[in-house]
């Protein structure tokens, strides 16, 4: 497979797929017919986009044993409540 690495308008280089690099940040990958296959980012750039989020549960809640004694509500009751809305 051959990759064509392009920066903006023109200025492209063709490379063997095994030699792909990240010269301009991310890559747009197209097949031979010109169909966009996807956008690819180097791992460091991808990681920098992640937004740290605190889980809405405490560590104790996550590690608490699951109570299987309560079977919950019958599906029929749940659906009836949803239809009322």
- The string of pLDDT tens digits covering residues 24-79 is 677 788 888 888 888 888 888 888 888 888 889 999 999 999 888 888 899 999 99
User: Which domain, by its residues, includes 42?
Assistant: 2-49
Whether 68 is covered by a domain: the verdict is: no
What is the C-alpha to C-alpha distance for residues 2 and 18, in angstroms, rounded to an integer?
9
In a domain, 73, yes or no: no
C-beta of residue 30 within 8 angstroms of C-beta of residue 37: yes
Where residue 6 falls among pLDDT bands split at 50, 70, 90? low
- Whether residue 4 is predicted with pLDDT greater than 80 in this model: the reply is no
Assigned domain for 82 exists: no
Examine residue 31 and state whether it is found in any structural domain, yes or no.
Answer: yes
Count of domains in the chain? 1
């Amino acid at each position: 497979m051959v990759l064509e690495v392009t920066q903006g308008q023109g200025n492209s280089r063709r490379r063997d797929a095994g030699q792909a690099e990240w010269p301009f940040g991310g890559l747009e990958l197209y097949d031979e017919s010109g169909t966009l296959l996807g956008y690819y980012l180097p791992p460091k750039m991808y990681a920098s986009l992640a937004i740290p989020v605190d889980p809405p549960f405490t560590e104790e809640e996550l590690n608490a044993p699951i109570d299987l004694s309560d079977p919950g509500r019958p599906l029929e009751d749940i659906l009836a409540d949803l239809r009322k809305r």
